[in-house]
Structure 1
Amino acid sequence: MLKKKIPFQNQDTEPDIAAQVVLPFKKSFEISLKSLKSRFLRNMVTVTSLILAVSFLAYVLVGSDISSGLYNSGDSGLIKILEKTGYEPGGSAKERWIVILSLLVCTVGIINAQLMAVTERFREIGTMKCLGALDSFVLRLFLLEASMQGTAGALLGAIFGAIIALLIGILRFGLNAVILLPLDEVGMSLLYSIGVGFGLSLLGVLYPAFIAARMRPIEAMRVEE
């Protein structure tokens, strides 16, 4: 006896349905990149705040590495100069708190900017959902955009912070700041700064992305522009 296959009802057809509404990663990347370009100025605000926060973090870390290299050299003259500048091995608690506060402010700024971006894209999100986009697809778009912003902002911020720290170190201590620089510690400081910046970008977009992903199509389409 033949059985008639009813689409959208038989559970065996679920993989086929999912394949129709889930776009490949490459296409998701293209859509995210296009969205970033269309909102370039607004996205630059988010990236700039991330650059400033990561720059300050990298500046503090690389500056501490420079001071550590000078302190470990054993040169009494350099050590006296370090003591006059208030250097403390391992960094001061004041610097750590300032860095934490700057990163916290940056995260709040990113969340605010992403919430505004979600509000502006209500109709776009509703249209995608009406066309069959899953919650995971919408979430993926926002995470991809945040990843690209985070990568760009963290890289630029780490580079700028390290350059500023080196220039100030040369002005204070001369070429010894470069000659005695522990390159392995500087490399770890840069990687740490980039990782923190990237993580902040993803952390800042999680809540807005979940709001966008959980939004019902009818609610998004009712919003007036």
Structure 2
Amino acid sequence: MERLVALPFAKSVEIAYKSIRVRLFRSLITTTSLVLAVAFLAHVQASTDIATSLLHSGTREALRALEHAGYDVTPAMGGIGETAKQRWIVILSLLVCVVGIVNAQLMAVTERFREIGTMKCLGALDRFILRLFLLEAAMQGLAGAAIGALLGGATAILASAISMGSLIFPVLPLAELARTGLTATGVGCLLSLLGVIYPAITAARMEPVEAMRVEQ
């Protein structure tokens, strides 16, 4: 145990970043699934924010635009919420995203048996291996979720402008849209971390000799 080494956090971040660059194609595939899921979540929430803001303007033109866009509204409504169907579709898309991340990370662990074994033979602690995978997932999650949130918000504004016209721009809820973007980004990061926990634990518990013995 005295020979085991614990590398500083900054070194772990550097190794995780270099690992992502080396496996850029696989990282892009994993990140793309997260981008699409977060974009869909942000799109649904941002569209609801825009429709609610237009409803609160209280003008007849706004009500007609909402009705033309397919919303069932009345002047007395306090807001527009997501339908049960929308919520279930969002939840299912996020679950599919998590399954995809788990699968991609398990494949990454399989490809890196020798690398993990080498690091353990050189004295890397289990918690260092675990930290390495979590850092990689956090970096990919933050990048993918941020891109997805921006994409979802932009498409929501564009789709609302097409369906409801230029009436949305004077009442565009920038604060709510920013909050929705931050929430979607946080959800994406959380999904990325949840998806990597099991593969990371699997990698951390590997015996060095068994990892080095595996044929690639």
TM-score (norm 1): 0.89
Specify the alignment match of 2:37 in structure 1. Answer: 53
Q: 1:37 aligned to 2:21?
A: yes
AA partner of residue 124 (structure 2): A
Structure 1 counterpart SS, 2:107: helix
After TM superposition, give the deviation of residue 81 of structure 1 in Å: 2.9
AA partner of residue 169 (structure 2): V
* Conserved 8 A contact 2:66-2:164: no
* Conserved 8 A contact 2:68-2:163: no
Once residues 85 and 96 of structure 1 are traced to their aligned partners in structure 2, the CA distance between those partners, rounded to angstroms, is 19
Specify the alignment match of 2:97 in structure 1. Answer: 106
Q: Paired residues, what number? A: 209
Structure 1 counterpart SS, 2:169: helix
C-alpha distance after superposition, 1:51-96 (max 9, x if no partner):
0001111111111111001111111232133234332621111111
* Conserved 8 A contact 2:130-2:201: yes
Trace 1:107-186 onto structure 2 (pairs within 5 A). Answer: 107-186=98-177
Q: 1:87 aligned to 2:71?
A: yes
* Conserved 8 A contact 2:130-2:204: yes
Q: Which runs of 4+ in 1 moved over 4 A?
A: none
Structure 2 gaps, min length 5? 73-79
Once residues 109 and 187 of structure 1 are traced to their aligned partners in structure 2, the CA distance between those partners, rounded to angstroms, is 28
AA partner of residue 44 (structure 2): V
* Conserved 8 A contact 2:65-2:165: no
AA partner of residue 202 (structure 1): L
Q: 1:189 aligned to 2:175?
A: no
Once residues 171 and 195 of structure 1 are traced to their aligned partners in structure 2, the CA distance between those partners, rounded to angstroms, is 29
* Conserved 8 A contact 2:69-2:163: no
After TM superposition, give the deviation of residue 219 of structure 1 in Å: 1.2
Specify the alignment match of 1:77 in structure 2. Answer: 61
Once residues 99 and 131 of structure 1 are traced to their aligned partners in structure 2, the CA distance between those partners, rounded to angstroms, is 44
After TM superposition, give the deviation of residue 175 of structure 1 in Å: 2.2
Specify the alignment match of 2:210 in structure 1. Answer: 219
After TM superposition, give the deviation of residue 203 of structure 1 in Å: 0.4
Once residues 38 and 91 of structure 1 are traced to their aligned partners in structure 2, the CA distance between those partners, rounded to angstroms, is 41
Once residues 67 and 14 of structure 2 are traced to their aligned partners in structure 1, the CA distance between those partners, rounded to angstroms, is 53
Kindly report the root-mean-square deviation, in angstroms, between the aligned alpha carbons of the 2 structures.
1.3
Once residues 208 and 184 of structure 1 are traced to their aligned partners in structure 2, the CA distance between those partners, rounded to angstroms, is 38
Specify the alignment match of 1:4 in structure 2. Answer: none
Once residues 65 and 166 of structure 2 are traced to their aligned partners in structure 1, the CA distance between those partners, rounded to angstroms, is 14
Q: 1:62 aligned to 2:53?
A: no
Bigger Rg, which one: 1
Trace 1:16-31 onto structure 2 (pairs within 5 A). Answer: 17=2, 21-31=5-15
After TM superposition, give the deviation of residue 185 of structure 1 in Å: 1.4
TM-score (norm 2): 0.93
Specify the alignment match of 1:3 in structure 2. Answer: none
Structure 2 counterpart SS, 1:103: helix
Identity of aligned residues (%): 58
